[in-house]
Amino acid sequence: MSRVAPYVAAGGIVGALARWGVVELLDRPTPALLVVNTVGSAALGIVVVRWPRADQPERLALGVGLCGGLTTFSSFALDVASRLDSADAGGALVITAASFALAVPAYLLARRAAQRQLGTP
C-alpha cells in the first residue's frame, strides 16, 4: 500500500487545487460546492468502472486521491449547519436536496456511460 501513497497524495493535491479553483472562479461557495461534488461524483462513476478492483493503484490515485480531494462532504456539512444555525431550514433543505439530486445521478449516469463504452454490464 505504501507504494501507492504518493499517487494518492498527488491525486489529492490536484483534486483539492481544482476545488479551490472552482470556488475562486465562481466566487460563491454554495454553487461551487454543488459543482465540485457533482463533477467529482461523475468522475468517480467512471473510475470505478475503468478500475473495478478497489486495490488498483489507478483507482486509489484517481478515486481516493483526485475525486476525494475534489469533492467535499465537510464543506457540505458546514453549509447546511450554517444555514440551520441562522434559522434557514429551507435553505438547508434545498442545498441537501440539490446535493443528492445532482451528485447521485451524476455518479450513476457516468458509471453507466463508462460501462457502455467498455461493453461491461
Cβ atoms of residues 67 and 43 within 8 Å? yes
The pLDDT value recorded for residue 43 is 98
Nearest by Cα to 47 from 68, 63, 69: 63
Transcribe 27-93 into DSSP letters: --HHHHHHHHHHHHHHHHHHHHHHS-STT-HHHIIIIIIIIHHH--HHHHHHHHHHHHHTT-HHHHH
pLDDT per position as a tens digit, 10-49: 999 999 999 999 999 999 999 999 999 999 999 999 999 9
Residue appearing with cell numbers 456511460: 113
**Domain spans of the chain, in order of start:** 5-118
Cβ atoms of residues 84 and 49 within 8 Å? no
User: Is 52 exposed, middle or buried, given 0-12, 13-18 or 19+ CB atoms closer than 10 A?
Assistant: exposed
The pLDDT value recorded for residue 63 is 97
**High-pLDDT (> 70) share of the chain, %:** 99
C-alpha cell at 19: 476545488
pTM of the model as a whole: 0.92
